């Protein structure tokens, strides 16, 4: 059923026709505004006011339906227009379609026929609007929502992404593991002219050389044992789009040579194929290694390095953008609530202080895993220090600590002593300040920090803090 908000513009020099159609359309939930003079309709027309227009083609006053169509579409290109005519000809139909008419209906017609065509036009238009909105949402999602934070370091990254996305310049993204290099690559692709084509990714360090060559370049049937059919490689599959080579520093030397040849000639040979394959692919690479040092050591080709490092985007580690941790934490809590149906509302002030002080060797990936693990074990409405502290110290057996650089194998592997000391120093200073604000009232301090009162007493004893004289 079309909603009452749907508005129809009706133009016909016969007042009786206008009144009849307005009554029929009104019975089906449409709000109709009608005119018997085309000039008046055009003078009062405001773009985006109507969802659809219906106009007769032959009207007095020097403005016919084709001219009405042309002017309406010029003012509002998304407005579907249906032409009514009693004298349909092939030439007239072609001209109407050329000017952007959605449909034509010939007099005499039953009101139900016009109603059917109106609903068809509106359904199609709304589908187009939904598709457009989805594309814009995806672009915005990859440009902003998934690259979370407001730090100066992240703003510089986003500014660079915006500038280079529309160009096909090769990009090398550098940074520690877990900093979000693939998200940046996706942001570049989804803000580029290639956004309608495929974005494919491969981890160059995850496959042996023979498999990697086949994955990248493809092979023909019978080219080696096990090649039972032709296979398209990622370069061919990404034709017109973007190929992301993660951890490119791990490429074996023979594969580096093949990739360099592709970048120079824009074509390659599948394994066992004598015919070259030419594709149009944008290459984005990433590494957590020092490629300049690899070049100096002879493990990475210098000519390939200069081919892929035309524009460099460096992602700072999380410890250098601690001001982004609150926003990232909020996002991860929201995602996990949606995913698992939980109702965690946030973190206590003490937990936020701990998160901001942590060294995060696994970066954003580790923070995400800590939040997910904490939410799985938390019984309070907010994440508390009792749950989060063991995760940060790597003492929670069987819980994910954060991928690369974080505990996560189930072992009770503590982080370096320097971090343990820093955490103790933070907790001591935090408790002293907290008790000072609360006048030494442990119960009030527990409420403000969102901590269990027994935990407060235990930590006061642990750090030798006198609650009556915390300083």
Return the pLDDT at 131: 56
pLDDT value at 398 more than 60: no
Q: Where in the chain is the domain with CATH 1.10.8.60?
A: 320-463
Segment 3-18 shows an average pLDDT of 83
Report the candidate in 224, 200, 231 with the shortest Cα–Cα distance to residue 210: 224
> Looking at residues 175-181, what average pLDDT do you find?
92
In this predicted model, what pLDDT tens digit does every residue of 279-308 receive, in sequence order?
Answer: 999 999 999 999 999 999 999 999 999 999
For the ranges 225-234, 238-247, 254-263, 344-353, the lowest mean pLDDT is seen at 225-234
Which pLDDT score is estimated for 272?
85
Contact 351, 388 (CB under 8 A): yes
CATH number of 146-316: 3.40.50.300
CATH of 7-130, one of 3.40.50.10860, 3.30.2350.10, 3.40.1390.30, 3.40.50.2300: 3.40.50.2300
Report the pLDDT value the prediction gives residue 184, as an integer from 0 to 100: 93
Question: Exposed, middle or buried by CB within 10 Å (0-12, 13-18, 19+), for 422?
Answer: middle
Burial class (CB in 10 A: 0-12, 13-18, 19+), 398: exposed
Identify whether 83 is preceded by a cis peptide bond (ω within 30 of 0). Answer: no
Residues 6+ positions from 101 with CB-CB distance below 8 Å: 69, 81, 82, 83
CB distance 347 to 358 below 8 Å: no
User: Please, what is the angle between helix 417-437 and helix 453-463, to 10°?
Assistant: 120
CATH 3.40.50.300 boundaries in the chain: 146-316
In the chain, CATH 3.40.50.2300 covers 7-130
Output 146 or 275, whichever has higher pLDDT.
Answer: 275
CATH of the domain spanning 320-463: 1.10.8.60
Alpha carbon distance 378, 351 (integer Å): 13
pLDDT at 399: 37
Strand partners, 271: 219
Tens digits of residue pLDDT in 56-75: 988 877 788 889 998 998 88
Given a cut of 50, whether residue 409 has pLDDT beyond it is no
Q: What is the 3 state secondary structure string of 360-387?
A: CCCHHHHHHHHHHHHHHHCCCCEECHHH
Summarised one tens digit per residue, pLDDT across range 120-140 is 888 877 766 665 555 444 444
State the Cα–Cα distance between residues 438 and 98, nearest whole angstrom.
76
CA 460/CA 469 separation, integer angstroms: 12
- Per-residue pLDDT tens for 315-325? 999 999 999 99
pLDDT above 90 covers what percent of the chain?
35
Q: What is the pTM of this model?
A: 0.57
pLDDT band at 430 (very low <50, low <70, confident <90, very high): confident
* pLDDT given at position 4: 47
Dump pLDDT digits (tens) for 142-175.
444 467 877 888 888 988 988 899 888 899 999 9
Query: What is the mean predicted confidence (pLDDT) over 213-225?
Result: 84
Contact 328, 369 (CB under 8 A): no
């Amino acid at each position: 059923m079309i909603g009452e908000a749907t508005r129809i513009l009706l133009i016909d020099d016969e007042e009786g026709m206008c009144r009849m159609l307005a009554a029929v359309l009104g019975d089906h939930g449409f709000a109709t505004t009608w005119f018997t003079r085309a000039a008046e309709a055009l003078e009062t027309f405001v773009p985006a006011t109507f969802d659809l227009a219906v106009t007769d083609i032959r009207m007095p006053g020097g403005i016919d339906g084709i001219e009405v169509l042309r002017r309406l579409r010029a003012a509002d290109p998304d407005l579907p227009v249906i032409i009514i005519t009693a004298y349909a000809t092939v030439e007239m139909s072609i001209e109407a379609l050329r000017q952007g008419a959605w449909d034509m209906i010939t007099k005499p017609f039953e009101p139900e026929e016009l109603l059917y065509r109106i609903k068809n036009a509106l359904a199609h238009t709304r589908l187009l609007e939904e598709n457009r909105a989805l594309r814009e949402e995806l672009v915005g999602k990859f440009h902003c929502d998934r690259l979370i934070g407001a730090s100066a370091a992240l703003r510089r990254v986003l500014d660079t992404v915006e500038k280079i996305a529309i160009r096909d310049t090769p990009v090398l993204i550098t940074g520690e593991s877990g900093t979000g290099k693939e998200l940046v690559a996706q942001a570049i692709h989804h803000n580029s002219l290639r956004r309608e084509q495929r974005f494919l990714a491969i981890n160059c360090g995850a496959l042996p050389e023979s498999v990697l060559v086949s994955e990248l370049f493809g092979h023909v049937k019978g080219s080696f044992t096990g090649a039972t059919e032709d296979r398209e490689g990622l370069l061919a599959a990404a034709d017109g789009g973007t190929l992301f080579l993660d951890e490119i520093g791990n490429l074996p030397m023979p594969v580096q040579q093949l990739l360099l040849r592709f970048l120079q000639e824009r074509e390659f040979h599948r394994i066992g194929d004598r015919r070259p394959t030419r594709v149009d692919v944008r290459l984005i690479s990433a590494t957590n290694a020092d490629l300049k040092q690899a070049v100096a050591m002879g493990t990475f080709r210098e000519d390939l390095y200069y081919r892929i490092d035309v524009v460099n985007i460096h992602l700072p580690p999380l410890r250098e953008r601690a001001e982004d941790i609150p926003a990232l934490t909020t996002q991860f809590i929201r995602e996990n609530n949606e995913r698992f149906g939980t109702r965690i509302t946030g973190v206590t002030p003490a937990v936020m202080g701990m998160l901001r002080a942590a060294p995060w060797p696994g970066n954003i990936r580790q923070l995400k895993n800590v939040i997910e693990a904490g939410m799985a074990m938390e019984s309070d409405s907010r994440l508390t220090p009792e749950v989060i502290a063991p995760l940060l110290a790597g003492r929670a057996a069987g819980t994910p600590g954060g991928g690369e650089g974080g505990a996560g194998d189930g072992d009770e592997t503590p982080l370096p002593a320097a971090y343990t000391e820093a955490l103790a120093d933070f907790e001591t200073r935090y408790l002293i300040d907290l008790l000072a604000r609360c006048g030494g009232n442990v119960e009030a301090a527990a409420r403000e920090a969102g901590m269990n009162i027994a935990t407060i007493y235990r930590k006061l004893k642990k750090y030798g803090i006198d609650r009556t004289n915390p300083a």
